Every structure is written in structure tokens, then in C-alpha cells.
Chain A
Amino acid sequence: DIQMTQSPSSLSVSLGDNVTFTCEASENIYGFLAWYQQKLGKAPKLLIYGATNLEDGVPTRFSGSGSWTNYSLTISSLEPEDIATYYCQNNHVYPDTFGAGTKLELK
């Protein structure tokens, strides 16, 4: 199975910050990488697919990048509603595997 390693596991942030966190796959996943946002007590929400493509309705302050095994999610000018846990997901081959998540916390 492809292992997905996210870092950091948590990040202390301030509103207005530009925030970047990463996801590394144990092998090449050819850009088949998705990012999900999960707020406390809610179901995950798709943010980005194909490593760089923004899902409809997702604010443009979210952006994804990367290729091969290394990917990142950037939030520009953090808003209060962005406080959540973010998961990356390999959807190149089954089993789909998720990273352990990066939890954003306000300073």
C-alpha cells in the first residue's frame, strides 16, 4: 500500500498568515492527490483534486502543488473558517490511503 506522510501534524497559526503544509507519498502517485478539509464534528470536504485543481466553490486562497511523491497545500491569508484539519489522499491506486492530517490551531 502507498503510505502518505503529512507534516507537520499540527501548526499554530494566526489569522492572515500564509500557511503551507506537505504530503509525501511512499511512491510516485502521478499527481493523483486530493486534499480534504475537516472541521470539528463535520464530514470532510474536498478542496483540491489532481494535486492542483480547485474544487468548485472552494476559495481561491487555497492552492495545491506538487508532483511525483511530494505535494503541498497552501492557504493564503488565513481566514477564521480555515481552522480545521487537512488530509491528503492518494487516489492513484487502491487502497485509497489518507495522510494522518495536519491540524491548524490558532495562536
Chain B
Amino acid sequence: EVQLVESGGGLVQPGRSLKLSCVASGFTFSNYGMNWIRQAPGKGLEWVAYISSGSSYIYYAETVKGRFTISRDNAKNTLYLQMTSLRSEDTALYYCARRSSPRGVMDAWGQGASVTVSS
């Protein structure tokens, strides 16, 4: 069974940093690109970042570019999102999601990690 389990969320003050992790199981992690998607409370889905299977290709949403860093450790089956200079508008549930190739869609999602940015 494909599983994605996020962790590392919490309450953080504006301007501080936080690192999310997503541990994958049930599939060959190193064969898949991965995404982070977030959802602010009561709002819709916002794509945040993508990393290819071998980390050669990385893309960010403009809203997080320069502040967030996506990375992965294929030996540990783990995806990361390092978030710095956090703002109140970064408050959201952060999902990791597997990107199916060549369909290019997110066919497996974690349960989400909650990040609250507040003083």
C-alpha cells in the first residue's frame, strides 16, 4: 500500500523557520517526482514545489520562491520542505503528493502537516 506520512508541522513565529518531512512507503520512492501542496484554512489547494526523482529538476511557486527549499533523500525514502522567513500567509495544511509520470498528476497524497505562523 502506498503511504505518505508528513511530520514536522507546528506553531512558529513570523520570520522563523520550520522543516517538514514526508516519509514514503509502499512504492519505489526514487522513481517518482514529488510535490508539496498546501491548503490554507477554509481555502483551496495551492501547489508549492516540485522535485524530480533524481533532484535534477526543482520548481517553486512564486509565493515561496527564495524562502522554501524542497529536497529529498532517496536512501531514506524521505521528502523535505525547508521553510524560512515564514509569514502568516504560509499558515496551512501542507500535503506531500506523489507525481505520477507520464500522466503528470498527483496520484497519492499524505494526510498533511499543519503549519501555523503566528506570534
Binding site for B on A (CB under 8 A): 1, 32, 34, 36, 38, 43-46, 49-50, 53, 55, 87, 89, 91, 94-101
A97 lies within 8 A of B103 (CB): no
Instruction: Give a binary string over B98-112; 1 marks a CB under 8 Å from any A CB, 0 the rest.
Output: 001001111101111
Residues of chain A lying within 8 A (CB to CB) of residue B104: 32, 49, 91
Least CB separation from A43: chain B residue? B109
B35 within 8 A of A: yes
Total of A-B residue pairs, C-beta within 8 Å: 54
The DSSP consensus for interface residues of chain B is: strand
**Could you list 24 A-B pairs, sorted by A, with CB under 8 Å?**
A32-B104, A34-B105, A36-B106, A38-B45, A43-B95, A43-B109, A44-B45, A44-B95, A44-B109, A46-B107, A49-B103, A49-B104, A50-B103, A53-B103, A87-B45, A91-B105, A94-B50, A95-B47, A95-B62, A96-B50, A97-B47, A98-B44, A98-B45, A100-B44
